[in-house]
Structure 1
Amino acid sequence: MADIPRIIHYCWFGGSPLGPNELSCIESWKKYLPGYEIKCWNESNFDIDCCAYVREAFSVQKWAFVSDYARFKILYEYGGLYFDTDVELVKPIDDLLSKGPFLGFETDYGNMTSSNMEDGLVMAVNPGLGMGCTPGLPIYRQVLDSYESSSFLLADGDFDRTTVVYRTTKILESFGLNKTKGMQEVAGISIYPSEYFNPKNHLTGEVNFTDNTRSIHHFKMSWFTPQEKFQHSVNRWLLMHGVEETPAKIISVALSLDIKRVIRRLKKKK
């Protein structure tokens, strides 16, 4: 088995400076992965015109969606590791790297409902938690094909809001992924339980460390607009209090729109 290249890739599109939280997380990579090259990818060194999806997402400043494609393109071509910039390493991962390509499960709180919160099996694979591979991993080509056959801007003027988590999980399911607890091997990738890379419950904020925990995904939503952050917070609160997924999303969007109307009216009165 070829070794995963000793390079950590991350994406930071849009031109704004890295904040203290992002810089702190990058320092944790240096601490627990000493000797690794760390490379930032942005619009100066990544081809924004590589496909329609990326070009369209970039044109409307949806940096997170640009990154969703870019991470797979970069690792497919160069290999190495990728982390979102709000991932803090808390322990070395050399033993995991020695086993080859990896991804991690998160609990999919976005699809959690009052009827399935108790079973704990609402899970999805989140590439932002951390991913690693050698160049040319075939299933990464499948993910890239999925993006390259899609448009980000839809005919009705809206965006394709399919997350990288959903897209990746569905592709892995077609290769045999099961949404069950425990370690899985799918399409040449070791997929680790959420305790490894996602010990933080984003509904409650509670962090449950185990001996296997290697990192924390702080989910800072650095690329979200204030409206998107508000919608997420309301949606999270509603899910915690037993509101089903679809009604929760409708309520959060409606509240957000009402607040925007209030702000516009206040500005007019000035």
Structure 2
Amino acid sequence: MKNPKILHRVYFDDRPPYRDPFTRFEATWAREMPDYEVKRWNSSNVNLEANEWMRRANAANSPVFLSEFVRWDVLKRFGGMYIDADCEILNGPKLAALIDELYASDDYDAFIGVEERANGHPTAQTIAAKPGSALVDFMHRMYDQHLSGPLWHWREERGLIGPQLMSLYFRDNGLTMNKGFFCNLDEPMTFARVKIYTQDYFSPKFTINGTQISRTKNTVIYHLFSNLNIDKIDPQADEHRRNPLLFDEYCEFLKNITTSQILPAAAPSRTAAITTSENLLLQFGGVRRPDGTLDYFRCMRFALRRPRFTAKLLLEKLVG
């Protein structure tokens, strides 16, 4: 099957937050993959009445949930690769080679990655597929039929979003371990006609404020994880979302970040490299409210769940 050389981008600039903050990210698509056509999908060329899911998302003025269906619809119709708007292409030639391998393969008809090694969630932000892909047909049917009704109300309450729904495809095809997720994946694998790549390919950073960078020779895409459907986020995450940094800029930001931006001032702040414990606290703690103040209940809960880590962190602060 011939590679159509299409990159699909979905952004509804007639819905909140209106202004497209990811134009610099899109510029890397053309720069890195000049032979590819970027198809831009929005209210002018998307059927907002395609099914009940789309009608409800349209009525709710919810562009993120409109895009949840649109990505599968355009992959079903055209094939190619869907990439979230908040993704930067870091290595176009290598990504093009992965897509060429997909179209040349008889063993799989789609590929994805995992968002983070430990959780193993499949990437709904980076999906390449041939027309007729079993995964794409499954997901299209989920939105077009099963989710087009009262299940709409559970989209956020019960996590009825891309990665969780994609896991149902793998469970339905016999993946019994880890509830359909690919936890601790260290090598690419193929399952149920889908090739699953390791975290470093498409998700070198997990979450918008992530501090653990896993860029390798395999890394082709950087995903910001802007989560535009979430209104209340901490101030630093909101700043990254409104004025997003490209990957190299974000890495430089991490080098220059100060401890005082992470923890309350119990001792004079230092501008040296962040300790390993502080990195972990940034990634797993979540101890601040959206306004940036400490939530002491969350602090206590975090301390009870990770007592040894908390003791180590306090010791570092005392001797630092």
Q: TM tier, shorter chain? A: 0.7 to 0.9
Partner of 2:70: 70
1:99 maps to: 101
Q: Given that residues 103 and 131 in structure 1 are in contact (C-alpha distance below 8 angstroms), is that contact kept between their aligned partners in structure 2?
A: yes
Identity fraction in percent: 22
Please name the residue that 1:13 is paired with: 12
Q: For each residue in 1:88-140, what CA deviation from the matched residue of structure 2 results, as whole angstroms up to 9, or x when unmatched?
A: 11112122112213111112xxxxxxxxxxxx532110121x21122221221
Quote how far apart the aligned CAs of 1:32 are: 1.5
Q: Secondary structure at the match of 1:8?
A: strand
Shift of 1:3: 2.9
Equivalence for 1:255: none
Per-residue CA deviation, residues 134-172 of structure 1 (Å, 9 max, x unaligned), is 2221221111111122346648x9453211111012212
Runs of 4+ with >6 A deviation: 236-239
- Given the two structures, how large is their TM-score scaled by the length of structure 1? 0.74
Gaps of 5+ in 1: 108-119, 244-250, 253-270
1:216: how far off? 0.7
Name the structure 1 match of 2:222.
216
* Aligned equivalent of 1:169: 167
Give the match's secondary structure for 2:64.
helix
Q: Which has the larger radius of gyration?
A: 2
Q: Equivalent residue for 2:211? A: 205
RMSD: 3.0
Which deviates further from its counterpart, 174-183 or 54-63? 174-183
* CA displacement at 1:29 relative to structure 2: 0.8
Question: For the Cα contact (< 8 Å) 2:12–2:42, is it kept in 1?
Answer: yes
Partners in 1 of 2:62 and 2:139 — Cα distance? Answer: 19
Instruction: Give the Å deviation of 1:51.
Output: 0.7
Relative contact order (alpha carbons < 8 A, sep ≥ 6): 1 or 2 greater? 1
Could you say which residue in structure 2 is the equivalent of 1:122?
119
Contact 1:53 1:150 in 2 (8 A): no
8 Å contact kept, 2:111–2:196: yes
Q: What is the deviation of 1:206?
A: 2.9
Which residue pairs with 1:196 in the alignment?
201
The structural deviation recorded for 1:7 is: 1.3
Query: CA contact under 8 A between 1:54 and 1:66: conserved in structure 2?
Result: yes
- Aligned partner of 2:182 in structure 1 is 179
Segment of structure 1 superposing worse, 205-214 or 66-75? 205-214
State the SS of the aligned residue for 2:7. strand
8 Å Cα contact 1:56/1:151 also seen in 2: no
Does the 8 Å contact 1:200/1:207 carry over to 2? yes
2:285 to 241, 250, 266: 241
Partner of 1:147: 143
Q: 1:138 to 1:208 in 2, by over 3 A?
A: closer
Inter-CA distance 159–60: structure 2 relative to 1 (3 Å threshold): farther
Number of residues of Structure 1 aligned to a counterpart in Structure 2: 226
Measured in 1, the distance between the counterparts of 2:30 and 2:205 equals 22
User: 2:307 maps to what in 1?
Assistant: none
Instruction: Name 1:43's counterpart in structure 2.
Output: 43
CA distance in 1, matches of 2:173, 2:19: 37
Query: 2:83 aligns to what?
Result: 83
What letter is aligned with 2:215? Answer: F
